């Protein structure tokens, strides 16, 4: 009996940690002041196994910023010595990654089915897309916009009261596999739409006059991989001729300043842009859907984590969109609305100045397609969690995010073009 119990516990643990243990791994937060500091980190990245958490890659580090990266246990002494020798101010954001990974499942209830306040594995989310559509036929319909590299259906939920020629807002989640709070938010949005339609004035008006396209998980293969094999996997799971390295960064795979800056041509890198723009089936499916529905899609929002930012085009260059002033005002107000609930502070601005020039992500691409209101939301990390935000914080994070999105949606509704 005892042996059985032990076996069951081990099975549960490996299901949660994908066979990795993260014992002794650390996440550092380093203050970077100047180009010398950036060079130190660049050298470190070339000699040790550094996994950049914020910003996404070594090429996006800018002076006077903080950089978060994960270090394998065997490289910690080296990294600490280099940081000390070069007088880089730093702190240990996560002192033992194992504890944080275990703590992400900290919600008291461990129901077996779908839950809006838990992280759900893909099979559960997939079943949920079917169920929520079946149970709410007047508000939700489900379609498949393509398949992933490994052949899984990519689902899209259309949420809104039936009507002819309705304008639409497109929201996607789950580009980067390890950013688990992102899919959790897409599910939360659908829940709130269904739960408060007809009783809450703002949601009711939005759903009466607009359709919301909700894409719960784009990078499904990667998401599954973070549950089964590698919790901090980021990319897709595609293979590449001539390389044993797997995956492309789906947000570096759009035809917007493709692979010019802030992305890598090396398939082994976390920001690999792919062999060509839209080479990834997931990216292509998303781009095709948006291209085919450009007459109705008036806003595009893509949900990531964890930098607490609301950014808008452009990221791929220091240039500003034609309605930059409007986007800035809108972002400022949306961020204020978000903070009104729990005081969570977001920065906002054009991607290039807020982060650093990067190969255009999906928001830049959508904007270049003519979608005037295109944003990337990097959801919160209050505390020292990185991508392993505890389940107990899903509700608060989703609630405040919903406020910002409702604000943007209402604005878009008032400024239809
Ligand atoms: Zn991301």
Angle made by CA atoms 267, 50, 275, in degrees to the nearest 5: 10
Instruction: List, in sequence order, every residue forming a beta bridge with 155; answer none if it has no partner.
Output: 144
CA of 241 to the centre of ligand 1 (A): 25
CA of 53 to the centre of ligand 1 (A): 9
CA of 312 to the centre of ligand 1 (A): 14
378 is catalytic: yes
Chain Cα centroid distance, residue 126: 18
CB 415 within 8 A of CB 397: no
Q: What is the predicted pLDDT for the residue at 18? A: 54
Intra-chain end-to-end CA distance of the chain, in Å? 67
CB 308 within 8 A of CB 346: yes
CA of 176 to the centre of ligand 1 (A): 5
Alpha carbon separation from 162 to 19, 197, 328, 334 (Å, rounded):
46, 13, 32, 27
Pairing of strands 140-147, 373-379: unpaired
Torsion angles phi and psi, residue 159, rounded to 5: -115, 120
Rounded distance between C-alpha atoms, residue 360 and residue 231, angstroms: 26
Rounded distance between C-alpha atoms, residue 236 and residue 250, angstroms: 7
Rounded distance between C-alpha atoms, residue 196 and residue 189, angstroms: 11
The rounded radius of gyration (Å) of the Cα atoms in the chain is 21
CA of 86 to the centre of ligand 1 (A): 30
CA of 295 to the centre of ligand 1 (A): 27
CA of 107 to the centre of ligand 1 (A): 24
Rounded distance between C-alpha atoms, residue 207 and residue 190, angstroms: 11
pLDDT by residue for the chain (417 residues), tens only, comes to: 444 444 444 444 444 545 688 999 999 999 999 999 999 999 999 999 899 999 998 988 999 999 999 999 999 999 999 999 999 999 999 999 999 999 999 877 666 799 999 999 999 999 999 999 999 999 999 999 999 999 999 999 999 999 999 999 999 999 999 999 999 999 999 999 999 999 999 999 999 999 999 999 999 999 999 999 999 999 999 999 999 999 999 999 999 999 988 899 999 999 999 999 999 999 999 999 999 999 999 999 999 999 999 999 999 999 999 999 999 999 999 999 999 999 999 999 999 988 887 788 999 999 999 999 999 999 997 778 999 999 999 999 999 999 999 999 999 999 999
Q: What is the predicted pLDDT for the residue at 41? A: 97
Q: What is the predicted pLDDT for the residue at 296? A: 98
CB 70 within 8 A of CB 84: no
Rounded distance between C-alpha atoms, residue 189 and residue 181, angstroms: 12
Question: What helix, strand, coil percent values describe the chain, rounded to 5?
Answer: 40, 20, 40
Instruction: List, in sequence order, every residue forming a beta bridge with 142; answer none if it has no partner.
Output: 157
Nearest CA among 174, 143, 171 for reference residue 156: 143
Regarding pTM above 0.85, the answer is yes
CA of 110 to the centre of ligand 1 (A): 27
Rounded distance between C-alpha atoms, residue 123 and residue 140, angstroms: 20
Candidate list 179, 270, 280, 378, residue with the active-site label: 378
Instruction: List, in sequence order, every residue forming a beta bridge with 52; answer none if it has no partner.
Output: 69
CA of 164 to the centre of ligand 1 (A): 34
Q: What is the predicted pLDDT for the residue at 19? A: 63
Rounded distance between C-alpha atoms, residue 211 and residue 405, angstroms: 14
Torsion angles phi and psi, residue 388, rounded to 5: -100, 50
Nearest CA among 390, 392, 386, 393 for reference residue 97: 386
Rounded distance between C-alpha atoms, residue 74 and residue 47, angstroms: 12
Rounded distance between C-alpha atoms, residue 51 and residue 221, angstroms: 20
CA of 364 to the centre of ligand 1 (A): 14
Rounded distance between C-alpha atoms, residue 307 and residue 379, angstroms: 6
Instruction: List, in sequence order, every residue forming a beta bridge with 66; answer none if it has no partner.
Output: 31
Q: What is the predicted pLDDT for the residue at 382? A: 77
CA of 413 to the centre of ligand 1 (A): 27
């Amino acid at each position: 009996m005892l042996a059985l119990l032990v076996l069951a516990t081990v099975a549960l643990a490996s299901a949660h940690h994908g066979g990795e243990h993260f014992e002794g791994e650390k996440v550092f937060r380093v203050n970077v002041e100047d180009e010398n500091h950036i060079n130190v980190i660049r050298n470190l990245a070339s000699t040790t196994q550094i996994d950049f958490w914020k910003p996404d890659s070594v090429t996006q580090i800018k002076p006077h910023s903080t950089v978060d990266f994960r270090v394998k246990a065997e490289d910690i002494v080296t990294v600490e010595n280099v940081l000390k020798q070069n007088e880089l101010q730093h702190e240990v954001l996560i002192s033992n990654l194992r504890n944080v990974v275990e703590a992400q499942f900290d919600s008291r209830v461990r129901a077996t089915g779908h839950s809006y306040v838990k992280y759900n594995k893909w099979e559960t989310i997939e079943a949920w897309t079917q169920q929520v559509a079946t149970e709410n036929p007047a508000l939700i319909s489900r379609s498949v916009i393509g398949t992933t590299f490994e052949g899984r259906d990519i689902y899209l939920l259309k949420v809104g009261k039936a009507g002819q020629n309705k304008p639409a807002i497109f929201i996607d989640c789950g580009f980067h596999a390890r950013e688990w709070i992102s899919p959790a938010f897409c599910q939360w949005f659908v829940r709130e739409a269904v739960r408060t339609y007809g009783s809450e004035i703002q949601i009711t008006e939005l759903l009466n006059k607009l359709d919301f396209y909700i894409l719960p998980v784009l990078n499904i293969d990667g998401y599954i991989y973070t549950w089964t094999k590698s919790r901090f996997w980021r990319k897709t799971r595609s293979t590449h001729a001539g390389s044993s390295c797997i995956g492309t960064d789906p947000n570096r795979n759009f035809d917007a300043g493709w692979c010019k800056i802030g992305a890598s041509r090396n398939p082994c890198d976390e920001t690999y842009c792919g062999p060509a723009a839209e080479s990834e089936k997931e990216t292509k499916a998303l781009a095709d859907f948006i291209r085919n529905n450009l007459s109705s899609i008036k806003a595009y929002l893509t949900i990531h984590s964890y930098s607490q930012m609301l950014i808008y085009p452009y990221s791929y260059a220091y240039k500003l969109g034609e309605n930059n002033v409007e986007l800035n005002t809108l972002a400022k107000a949306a961020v204020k609305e978000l903070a009104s609930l729990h005081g969570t502070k977001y920065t906002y601005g054009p991607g290039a100045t807020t982060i650093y020039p990067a190969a255009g992500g999906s928001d830049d691409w959508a904007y270049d397609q003519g979608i005037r209101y295109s944003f990337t939301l990097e959801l919160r990390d209050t505390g020292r969690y990185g991508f392993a935000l505890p389940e107990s914080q899903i509700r608060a994070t989703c609630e405040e995010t919903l406020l910002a999105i409702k604000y943007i949606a209402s604005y878009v509704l008032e400024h239809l073009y």
